[in-house]
Chains A and B, each alone.
Chain A
Amino acid sequence: MSVTVKLPTQLRDLASGEAEIPVEGATVNDCLAALFGAHPALKDRLTDENGVRRFVNLYVGGEDVRFLDGVNTAVADGAEITVLPAVAGG
């Protein structure tokens, strides 16, 4: 599947200034692995030894993956994965 990962401002420097990164993968996990393969510095920012960091939110097609299958959520061709800090709002 061809998927677009959308990055927030504070990560774009680590992805050659790009806001949207095209990757291939069948699940969110696959796509993150592909993203880290292309831009290794992102891995440490988004994950720690327990997986995705606790203040990182991931959305597929606008839905929080915690309401889906987490990082195992399947992604369709043309899907968008949005990465955002979790600390907004209130």
Chain B
Amino acid sequence: MRGNVFEAKVKADGGMELLRLLVERLGHGAEAPAEAKVPDLTAAGPEGRAARTALALREATAAGDWALLDHPMLALEVAGSPAYLEPDAVVVHPDGTWTVVEIKSFPMVDGSADAAKVGAAARQSAVYVLALERIAAVTEGAEVGHQVLLVCPKDFSNLPTASVVDVRKQRAVTDRQLTRLTRVEDIAAALPEGTTFDPDRSPEELGTAVEAVPAAYAPECLAACELAFHCRAKARAEGAVESLGRSVRGELGGLTTVAGVLAAAAGKEGDPADPTVAALRRAAALRAEALAGVGGGVACR
């Protein structure tokens, strides 16, 4: 609720406050513009809006003036199918630079905000930058700025303040991930014939359908995905060590199940020449010795 009120406040008055903040942080001492064009981006359907946005970006760049695109629609191909994205705003500079503006409602207290939230905002903006680059590639004189403007409430007030976030790294990471993603068609081809995720189906049918898709669960999924609990239950039932965290998986080398690790540590399985198995056995022995020592054995002297 407060987020919407805050965003409206930032964009009020034809976006003058927003442009003032932008010029202040990114303008290298330039004066804030007296006015900016705010093109109308309404159109039917996401495809229509995306096309309208691309057109508005081209026009604004050709005009060589300040323009503020309020909630533009961008298209980006993800795993072979189009995804539509809606940044809070994109500003076109007179020199043809496009800057992504991200408006968030978490406060920036004394010039610093929650690092996790800023990181999430940076990753989100990087996707917008990537989508804009697709349009900029076919627009003459256009360039997408790799510095995005993060606008947050200042301290404990509702007054906006802004900070420039460099998203080059996040952009590169996302770009690489996007090129490596398995295409949706390939995933679909691997599924049994007739698999559907239609919400009207019975829970059993849906359960089987979801089971058919492999998932690499990690605890981080819990914060991001509605299906995380399902994948977690599956990972736990399989005894996958990833359910304890990604780092755990890295520590245990080729051992992937809880039972396997414990058996190796107890000396029942595994090759003693394997450094992971050897380390596990030493760890188990040291741990057992320390715990046995509590009951009157030799403790540290």
**Is A bound to B?**
no
